[in-house]
Each structure stands twice: as structure tokens, then as C-alpha cells.
Amino acid sequence: MPALEILLIALGLSMDAFAVAVASGATMKRLHLPNALKMGLFFGGFQALMPVLGWLAGLSMKTFIAGVDHWIAFGLLSAVGGKMLYEAFKIKEEEDCGGARTCPFDTGTLTVLAIATSIDALAVGLTFSVLQVSIITPVLVIGVVTFVMSVGGVRLGSSGGHFFEHRMEAAGGFILIAIGLKILAGHLGFF
């Protein structure tokens, strides 16, 4: 898989984490770098772990899905991208922190948020397995990109950047759908 595609997938997957990081940063009156780094480590770590789990699951199903692997890759990436688009455009209620500035940064809360924002990466890991892509480089890129995007999101949110959160999530959805279409078109002989 080309490096540009891996980077675009990593950016697409990191958009959920970025949106949560912006919203979490918006709960702070000023940036607390340790909280931003903690969120980046949790989100980046889970975004790197989930594709590995999906990839391992895909290895066990390889013989059953070999003939339709491109359709599965297209379907999974389109479903993840579509979900991201839906989430970006639906009206969301703001969570109340009960006056605590750091509630999104508690370890328990961060674990739940990191799992919730990385479920999509599980499906992408399955896609990597179906396409017989080595998992090491994508996992490293996904983890690092998500870490950087999360820390940047907290920074942006703490300085009033809550406005961009939904647009970035929508952009991530479009990227994943476009990559799914490219994979499908390539296997069907359009490229």
C-alpha cells in the first residue's frame, strides 16, 4: 500500500479523536500540556492497537473471503466513512463536566473515549488483512498521526477552535470513502 494512502487513512481515522480532543480542550480555560499529552497517548495508543486486532481477526478469515476481498475493503471503508459523515452532521448535545475542568482527561473517561474513537480502526485493520497489507507501518503511522492530531485538537479547543470539530470529522469520512472507492475501482480494472 502506498505511503500516501496509509497517511490518508491515518488522517481519516484520527478525525474522530481530533473532534473529541477539540471538544475536550474547549473545557479548559487555558492549555494544560500534560492533559493534552495524556489524551494523545491514549488516543494514539488505541488507534494503533485496534488495527492490529482487526488484522489478526482477518488473518483467520482469509481463505473464506479471498474472492471478495476488494468488496469487503470497499464496504468497510465506506461504512466507517459514512458513519463519520453522519456523526459530523448530526446535532450533538454537549456533555456537562459538572464544573470540573479536567473531566475528559480522567483515566477512566479517556479509556472509554479512546475505545469509542478507535472502533473504526478495528474495521480498517480487518481491511488491511483482507488486502494482505503488512500491519507494522500503517499501525505506526496511525498511532503517531492520531497522537499529533489529538494533542493539536486539545490545543485548538483550548483556544476556542470548537468551530472546526465537525468539519474535520466530515473530511475524515470523505477520505476513507474515497480510498474505499479507489480500492474497488482498482480491483475491478478501472485503473
Q: Are 151 and 42 in contact, with CB atoms under 8 Å apart?
A: no
Q: Is the model's pLDDT at 152 over the cut of 80? A: yes
Does residue 96 have a pLDDT over 60? Answer: no
Give the model confidence (pLDDT) of 52-64 as tens digits: 999 998 888 766 7
pLDDT at 132: 84
Please write the tens of the pLDDT for every residue from 124-140.
Answer: 898 888 888 889 999 99
Helix (H, G, I), strand (E, B) or coil at 124: helix
With pLDDT > 70 as the criterion, what percentage of the chain qualifies? 81
N- to C-terminal Cα separation, the chain: 15
From 5-9, 40-44, 69-73, 142-146, the region with the lowest mean pLDDT: 69-73
Q: What is the mean pLDDT of the chain?
A: 79
Contacts of 170 (CB under 8 A, 6+ apart): 84, 85, 88, 89
pLDDT tier, 161 (very low <50, low <70, confident <90, very high otherwise): low
Q: Could you say which DSSP state residue 96 is in? A: P
User: How many residues belong to the chain?
Assistant: 191
